[in-house]
Amino acid sequence: MDDLCLFDGDTLLPILPPILLIEFIVGGLCNGIALWIFCFRIKTWNSSTILLFNLVLADFLLLLALPFRTNYYLQHKNWVLGDWFCRMNLFMLAMNRTGSIFFLTAVALDRYFKVVHPYSQLSAPSVAKTICTSCILWLMATSMTAYLLVKPKLFQKNDTEAVIHCESFAISLSFDSHGLWHWSLFLLEIFLPFCIVLYCTCHFVRKLQKRELNKQGRIQKAIRLTIVVIIVFLLCFLPSSLTSIVIWIKRASYHKECQSFKVWDNTFYITMSLTYMSCVMDPVIYCFSSTTFQELYFFKLWKTFKKKTVTGVTDLRTRQSEDTTIASERPANHLLVQ
């Protein structure tokens, strides 16, 4: 398409596949353990537990879509799996990224009402109400990203090029209402939750400054949790948002040559890969939210590591034992001399 700026993936090839692969492996391990704990070890469920479980679920579903995106960059941004699977992959990435942001914000708000407004009805919602809230958040995340399934997402620079791009953030030089909606939602779903989390943190700090000694421990714990959430936003989500704003400014200043966008296009996709890093960082939030979960989580990690270590040591000892046996059965050199 002539009005779209599509670039090859040569610059991104040595950068994105390793990042996405590390995110997939580490995030899959961390969230897999977390999902196992929620399903088989958590006996009592409350509002915090339900919100955290949905956060784990969003991260885990997002990770399932990463290998296909990794393969796309390994193929120099050439999509070989067809249009429908392209749309589905982009939808899964966007929907679960949005869901992850929503539930991160919900976790911070849940802790805010418990600490700052302990006597409010919102400070202790029932399990049924929290499940309904979670369903509403999933419905919002789905409805905000379902448009990715409507229109084709495969593009070519021209009819003679064999490379097929699968993109939802392709830069358009002309006005595109569909693209405008996509970029606007992308910014809104990051900046609005970030402002909410900052608001919660400021109120926690004010509470702590009042020196309410009977609640000081809870407030400090809540502050630590929201600080981790802020760090996730700062490292994972804000870089791509700021890059997209720069691209918007360049478009508004009447840059009509695609080549002038190449550096910022590559920068945007690198920062987009950081949004998936939240899947690796979110388990820290699970541990800050619950001491019981923290103990179970690290116990499972230690048990898995110890099992692998013991297996490795056992295999090494077995090999050494076999070598010793063979050496003892071998005739000594001095006995061979006549």
Q: Is the separation of the CB atoms in 65 and 279 below 8 Å?
A: no
Q: What's the chain's average pLDDT?
A: 81
**Domain containing residue 197: CATH number:** 1.20.1070.10
The CA distance from 279 to 232, in Å, is 10
Distances (CA, A) of 144 to 18, 83, 92, 103: 30, 20, 12, 15
How far is the C-alpha of 38 from the C-alpha of 49, rounded, in Å?
8
C-alpha–C-alpha distance, residues 283 and 299, integer Å: 14
Confidence of residue 183 (pLDDT cuts 50, 70, 90): confident
Please give the structure tokens belonging to residue 329. 């059965």
| Any domain includes 105 | yes
Please, are residues 280 and 27 in contact by the beta-carbon 8 Å criterion?
yes
Residues forming a β-bridge with 172: 4
Residue bearing tokens 């059965």: 329
Residue 234 covered by a domain: yes
Residue 55 forms part of a structural domain = yes
Return d(Cα 177, Cα 137) in angstroms, integer. 25
Local structure of residue 121 (DSSP, 8 states): G
Higher pLDDT, 42 or 311: 42
Confidence of residue 64 (pLDDT cuts 50, 70, 90): very high
Residue at 276 is within a domain: yes
- In tens, the pLDDT along 109-159 reads 988 888 888 777 777 788 899 999 999 999 999 999 998 998 888 888 765
Which domain, by its residues, includes 173?
A: 4-289
CA angle 272–276–280, rounded 5-degree value: 145
Q: Is residue 155 part of a domain?
A: yes
Please indicate, yes or no, if residue 229 is contained in any of the structural domains. yes
pLDDT band at 98 (very low <50, low <70, confident <90, very high): very high
Q: What is the count of structural domains for the chain?
A: 1
Q: In this structure, which amino acid lies at residue 219? A: I
In a domain, 177, yes or no: yes
Segment among 97-106, 119-128, 222-231, 288-297 with least mean pLDDT = 288-297
Residue 321 lies in a domain: no
Name the β-bridge partners of 165.
Answer: 155
pTM of the model: 0.83
Strand-pairing partners, residue 171, are 5
Instruction: Provide the 8-state DSSP code for 174.
Output: S
Reported confidence tier of residue 177, pLDDT bands at 50, 70, 90 = low
pLDDT band for 273, please (50, 70, 90 cuts). Answer: very high
